[in-house]
């Protein structure tokens, strides 16, 4: 399990509820009723191995030939090659090139974009760096971004599971995953292209941060072509969390101390502040990451419940939480929560050695398991 996660637990039904994996602003770990009976735990090593066998490059010899004399062609080729390697690294955990080689591609793209910033190349919608100095404008969400109700102990969690069973007629599969303590984000794609990114705000109205989100390395600017077949309409809105890994947070605060600036209180505040920068280049230097976990509207995608949606998100190129499990019984849900809390306690012990959520009609088919003993502690 990754060390950048906050170890609590949450749960949600896919199908009837909006935003089945909606985040709680205080952090935790998440579980959702997958709605697809018979799905197996995890992606499955055989399936993952099969996915890794052939991943054709998104750049071909004709692109390279055209790029030699056409900067616009080279920029387009670089973007597609970077998207290809980002997909392999974050979605399949099967990188084909070294970090140094990837950084070299990014550096060449930045230099070319800077050299042609006054041309139509620079103004392209898929610019990797966005727009500098644009005032943040409000965006009204088409569907409200909810937070989850908390289950403060196992009794409350079991009471919620009982209500789910009563509503479904049987115990549905539950997609359980660890909750990242980050800043909620809504990503809108039209015909497979990222056209808007917005913060949660008050749940109804957020802020347009599209230019800044385009600089976050693991957010695909275009969805994988093979994933578009499952999208029922031309537009799809996804929900996730933008977070700052601890190593990046520590480096940011060290730099702040050296320059005499006040440090950030915690990684979540640092991530939120980084998203709202007026200059996207500042955001780009903050080394943000994401986990995308839910659909704004379940009907927008042909997928078998929350578990199926998670598999589609991975295939589309998104960074999906690797600490996820399909639980078929309440006992398996309990075990998942216990494992999460065990890891959390170990992390808190290591840290000691080294030195408000939306409440209006939260999704009934989802819960955040956040025991009272864990309150007040963020990793």
The catalytic residues are: 179
Q: DSSP letter string over 175-242? A: EEEPPP-SEEEEEEEETTEEEEEEE-TTSSEEEB-HHHHTTSTTS-SB--GGGGGGBSSSEEEEEEEE
Q: Is the torsion defined by CA of 186, 191, 192, 194 positive or negative?
A: negative
The encoded tokens of residue 4 equal 């950048």
Taking only Cα atoms into account, the Rg of the chain, rounded to an integer number of angstroms, comes to 21
For residue 45, give the DSSP letter.
H
Could you give the CA distance from residue 274 to residue 288 in angstroms, rounded to a whole number? 8
Q: Please answer whether residues 8 and 344 qualify as being in contact, where contact means their C-beta atoms are separated by less than 8 angstroms.
A: yes
Name the strand (E) or helix (H) holding 281.
Answer: helix 280-284
Could you give the CA distance from residue 241 to residue 32 in angstroms, rounded to a whole number? 16
The encoded tokens of residue 5 equal 């996660």
Q: b/e string for 220-258 if b means 16 or more Cβ within 10 A?
A: bbbbbeebeebbeeeebbbbbbbbbbbebbeebbeeeee
Q: Please answer whether residues 368 and 28 qualify as being in contact, where contact means their C-beta atoms are separated by less than 8 angstroms.
A: yes
Q: Hunting for tokens 């379940």 — which residue is that?
A: 298
Give how far the C-alpha of residue 276 lies from the chain's centroid of Cα atoms, to the nearest Å: 17
Give how far the C-alpha of residue 231 lies from the chain's centroid of Cα atoms, to the nearest Å: 19
Q: Nearest 5°: CA angle at 74, between 72 and 75?
A: 65
Could you give the CA distance from residue 32 to residue 22 in angstroms, rounded to a whole number? 10
């Amino acid at each position: 399990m990754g060390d950048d996660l906050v170890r609590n637990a949450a749960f949600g039904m896919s199908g009837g509820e909006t935003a089945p994996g909606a985040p709680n602003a205080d952090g935790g770990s998440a579980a959702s009723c997958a709605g697809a009976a018979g799905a197996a735990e995890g992606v499955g090593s055989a399936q993952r191995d099969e996915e890794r066998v052939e991943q054709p490059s998104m750049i071909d010899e004709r692109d390279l030939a055209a790029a030699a004399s056409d900067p616009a062609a080279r920029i387009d080729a670089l973007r597609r090659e970077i998207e290809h390697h980002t997909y392999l690294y974050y979605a399949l955990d099967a990188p084909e090139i070294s970090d140094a080689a990837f950084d070299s591609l990014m550096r060449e793209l930045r230099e070319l974009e800077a050299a042609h910033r006054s041309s139509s190349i620079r103004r392209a919608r898929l610019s990797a760096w966005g727009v500098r100095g644009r005032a943040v404008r409000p965006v009204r969400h088409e569907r409200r971004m909810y937070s989850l109700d908390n289950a403060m102990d196992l009794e409350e969690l079991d009471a919620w599971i009982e209500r789910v069973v009563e509503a479904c007629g049987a115990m549905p599969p539950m997609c359980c995953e660890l909750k990242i303590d980050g800043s909620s984000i809504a990503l809108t794609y039209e015909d497979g292209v990222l056209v808007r990114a917005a913060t949660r705000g008050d749940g109804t109205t957020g802020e347009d941060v599209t230019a800044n989100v385009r600089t976050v390395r693991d957010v695909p600017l275009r969805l994988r072509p093979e994933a578009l077949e499952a999208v029922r309409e031309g537009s799809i809105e996804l929900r996730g969390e933008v977070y700052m890994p601890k190593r990046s947070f520590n480096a940011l605060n060290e730099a702040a101390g050296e320059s005499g600036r006040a440090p950030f209180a915690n990684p979540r505040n640092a991530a939120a502040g980084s998203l709202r920068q007026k200059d996207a280049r500042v955001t780009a230097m903050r080394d943000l990451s994401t986990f995308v976990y839910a659909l704004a509207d379940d009907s927008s995608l042909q997928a078998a419940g929350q578990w199926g949606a998670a598999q589609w998100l991975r295939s589309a190129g998104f960074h999906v939480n690797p600490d996820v499990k399909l639980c078929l019984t309440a006992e398996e849900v309990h075990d998942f929560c216990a494992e999460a809390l065990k890891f959390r306690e170990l992390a808190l012990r290591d840290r000691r050695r080294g030195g408000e959520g939306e409440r209006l009609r939260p999704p009934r088919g989802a819960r955040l398991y956040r025991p009272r003993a864990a309150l007040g502690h963020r990793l």
